[in-house]
Amino acid sequence: MLSNKEAKIGSNMARIFAIAIVPSFLIQAFALDPTNPGYDSTWGPALSVLNVVTGFALLFVFALTTKLYGDDNNPYVRITGSIAFVTQCIFVQDAFAGPLNENSDNALFTTNEILQTTGTNGPVWALFLGIFTLSVLRSSKVDLLPSWGVNAGYGAAILVIVNGVGSAFGLIPDTANLIILVLGGVVLYPATVWALGVSFQNSGAE
């Protein structure tokens, strides 16, 4: 059971995550030059800051989701939630890798090379994220989620796993991969996180 303070924090962090995804997507979709892929010195720092904000918020959501749904009868949520939390810590700690390397006078590698290196943990992050989400959706407390959140959760989990595994092994064409990223990462997963925020409020916090 969550305390009232935990429920409030979790709900706020879920909203922060879902809202901060919007400017990140808009920058990548409309401000960056598609003919010049790679790190952008103008928008790169802004994206890094947004990645820290969303990553920080998501850590709270993961921790509180694990506590709320991972009761004694559901060790799967506790274990997969712990894995997802640690993986998210690793994922978000590289958020400033681009600006750091770009502003280094003695950089050994180009910024794009650094970002390609730090991004190699993305497929595993996506896999664990999807498994954790499925564990929550199959828990005995799934009724705390609104029905639209459950549907969004299953869609997001499947697309995130498909994207992670498919991109790692080169199984998804670029066009299809873009559609999966937008639908899963910009629409369905933020909706799932927002629904988790609702579930914190519905938990009967003490």
* Total domains, the chain: 1
Give the model confidence (pLDDT) of 13-49 as tens digits.
999 999 999 999 999 888 887 777 788 889 999 999 9
Give the model confidence (pLDDT) of 175-200 as tens digits.
898 899 899 999 999 999 999 999 99
With respect to residue 160, please indicate whether it lies within any of the assigned structural domains: yes
With respect to residue 206, please indicate whether it lies within any of the assigned structural domains: no
Query: Within a 10 A sphere around the Cβ of 19, how many other Cβ atoms?
Result: 14
Percentage of the chain modeled with pLDDT above 70: 99
For residue 119, what is the DSSP state? G
With respect to residue 107, please indicate whether it lies within any of the assigned structural domains: yes
Q: Which residues contact 127 (CB under 8 A, 6 or more apart)?
A: 160, 161, 164, 165
With respect to residue 130, please indicate whether it lies within any of the assigned structural domains: yes
pLDDT computed for residue 45 by the predictor: 94
Give the C-alpha separation, 174 to 177, whole Å: 5
Q: Are 179 and 161 in contact (CB under 8 A)?
A: no
With respect to residue 119, please indicate whether it lies within any of the assigned structural domains: yes
Q: Are 14 and 200 in contact (CB under 8 A)?
A: yes
Closest CA to 125 of 58, 183, 191: 58
pLDDT computed for residue 177 by the predictor: 84
- 147 or 115, which is more confident? 147
pLDDT at 127 over 80: yes
Give the C-alpha separation, 192 to 129, whole Å: 12
Three-state secondary structure call for residue 107: coil
Closest CA to 166 of 157, 158, 177: 177
Task: Give me 167's structure tokens.
Answer: 């991109």
Closest CA to 60 of 41, 37, 78, 81: 81
> Which pLDDT band, with edges at 50, 70 and 90, does 121 fall under?
confident
Give the model confidence (pLDDT) of 57-82 as tens digits.
999 999 999 999 998 788 999 999 99
Cα angle: 54, vertex 75, 206; to 5 degrees = 65
With respect to residue 151, please indicate whether it lies within any of the assigned structural domains: yes
Q: Are 129 and 87 in contact (CB under 8 A)?
A: yes
* Domain housing 132: 4-201
With respect to residue 50, please indicate whether it lies within any of the assigned structural domains: yes
pLDDT computed for residue 120 by the predictor: 85
pLDDT computed for residue 178 by the predictor: 85
> Which pLDDT band, with edges at 50, 70 and 90, does 167 fall under?
confident
With respect to residue 30, please indicate whether it lies within any of the assigned structural domains: yes
